[in-house]
Amino acid sequence: MTQDATIQDATRALAAIRFNADGLVPAIAQQHDTGEVLMMAWMNREAVAETLATGRVCYYSRSRKGLWRKGETSGQTQHLKDLRIDCDGDTLLLLVHQDGVACHTGRRNCFFLAARDGGLTEIAAPEVSPEKLYGHA
């Protein structure tokens, strides 16, 4: 595919996305080969464009008010396999290859708490300590 074709594809994708009043759209990351739901984060127009251009997933951090390139501090990167837009254009599904863990808590995914028996049950233990992930060990 030529660079012009890639830019056209990105332009069409961006035009199909309905960003909210804050200029954001929710993005669900799913492991492409197993279907495991890894995490949910937000993307703005710039994050979507960068992700499509580079193949490395980039989100928008609301707390830092800027782009967040997944794995830039932890090394736990996500590589885009496919970007899908839902029927309303207001939610993205990112099929990714996750290197390492997806959650900042050191777990494979962010969905490690289950509402069971009137309480919360931890269903997955950390695979790596957050201190090790972020260099605070």
pLDDT tens-digit map of 58-108: 999 999 999 999 999 899 999 999 999 999 999 999 999 999 999 999 999
The range of the structural domain enclosing residue 51 comes to: 3-100
Pairwise CA distance, residues 71 & 6, whole Å: 24
Pairing state between β 113-116 and 58-61: unpaired
Domain contains 106: no
pLDDT the model gives residue 9: 75
pLDDT tens, 16-63? Answer: 999 999 999 999 999 999 999 999 999 999 999 999 999 999 999 999
pLDDT the model gives residue 134: 85
Q: pLDDT above 90 covers what percent of the chain? A: 85
Domain contains 107: no
Domain contains 9: yes
Question: Who has greater pLDDT, 51 or 135?
Answer: 51
State yes or no: pLDDT of 1 exceeds 60.
Answer: no
- Cross-strand partners of 120: 115
Domain contains 79: yes
Per the CB < 8 A criterion, the answer to whether 137 and 129 are in contact is yes
- Cross-strand partners of 24: 44
pTM summary value:
0.89
State yes or no: pLDDT of 136 exceeds 70.
Answer: no
Domain contains 129: no
| H or E segment and range at residue 67 | strand 66-69
Q: Which amino acid is located at 40 in the chain?
A: M
